[in-house]
Structures are given as structure tokens and as C-alpha cells.
Amino acid sequence: MQVRRFLLIGRLDEAERMLAELDPAPFPPALRTAHELVVAGIAMRRLRTKTARVALTRAEYAARHANIPALTAEVESTASLLKPPPPLIVSGRSAPPARGSRSVARIESARGGRVPTLVRDAGLVATLARRPVLFALARALGEAWPGDVPRDLLVARHLEQGYR
């Protein structure tokens, strides 16, 4: 419990030190699952995805043997954090998903007024046909994704749209 507490409050070094002193082999399946979830949690916070995936595989195995639905659900929930989101789509072009990003968006530009100007994000749809400045900013961010857009470029796009 103390190791998990250290993980939750962000004291990863202390959690790792305590984990190193534990041998999970004699633990019952439920405790082995909890142990592997802590190992995975530390690895995820340190951006060690391989280690996290291995720990989650062991946690899944132990959770199945523990036969506790809530524990199995916790392992599945934690494992879902490592799945990449669907790709961002900008005007028919797709970009690879950003690591660690949970954001999903689709930007459609107007073609001769026939297609509405939309930004979609996981079930939310925003029509920006009457908000060209916001659409220009969203499009600039989408085109640069997964990189950043310099503030100067965003300001230039804003001003460019504002005077049309």
C-alpha cells in the first residue's frame, strides 16, 4: 500500500526503492496484480512504455487468475492509456498519432461552400463556417501536428483571417 501511495503522490524514486525490496513471486494473484500495476504506473510516468507493457501483461495474467472483475477492469483501464489515439485528419491527409496524446480531431475545410467547415473531436462537432479566424487557427495547429506552431504564425493567421 505504501508503494502505491508513493506512486500516486509522485514520489517515484521512493516507490522504486521499495519495489526493489519486494519479491512478488510468493504473492497471491491479487497482490501480484497490484504489484505489476505499480510497476507499470512507474514505468508510464517515466515514459518507459516497453517496461509498462510487460508489467501490464503480467498484471493481466495475474488478474485473470485472481478472478476479481474490478481488478481486471483496472488492468484494462491502465492498459488503455498506452493505446495510441486514432490519427488526426486534415483535409483528407492523415498524420500519425502523437505519443501520449489522447486528443483526436478531424478538420474539414469548405470546398466551394458545399462542405461545412468542421472540427470534430471524439464525438464533439464544432461548425466554424462563420468563424474563419478560429478555423484558420485550428487548421494551422492541425497541419503542424504533432509539432507546435510558433505564436507569430498563429497571430499572422489570425490577422490574415480578421481582415478578409
Does position 94 have pLDDT exceeding 60, yes or no? no
pTM, two decimal places: 0.53
| More confident of the two residues 113 and 83 | 83
pLDDT at 4: 86
CA dihedral 7, 13, 18, 19 (to 10 degrees): 70
Q: By C-alpha distance, which of 67, 11, 65 is closest to 38?
A: 11
**DSSP secondary structure letter of residue 1:** -
Q: By C-alpha distance, which of 51, 37, 33 is closest to 4?
A: 37
pLDDT at 161: 57
pLDDT above 70 as % of the chain = 67
Residue 63 C-alpha cell reads as: 488478474
Separation CA 116–CA 112 (nearest Å): 10
| More confident of the two residues 99 and 86 | 86
Per the document, the length of the chain is 164
Identity of the residue numbered 106: R
Separation CA 161–CA 59 (nearest Å): 52
pLDDT at 100: 41
pLDDT at 68: 93
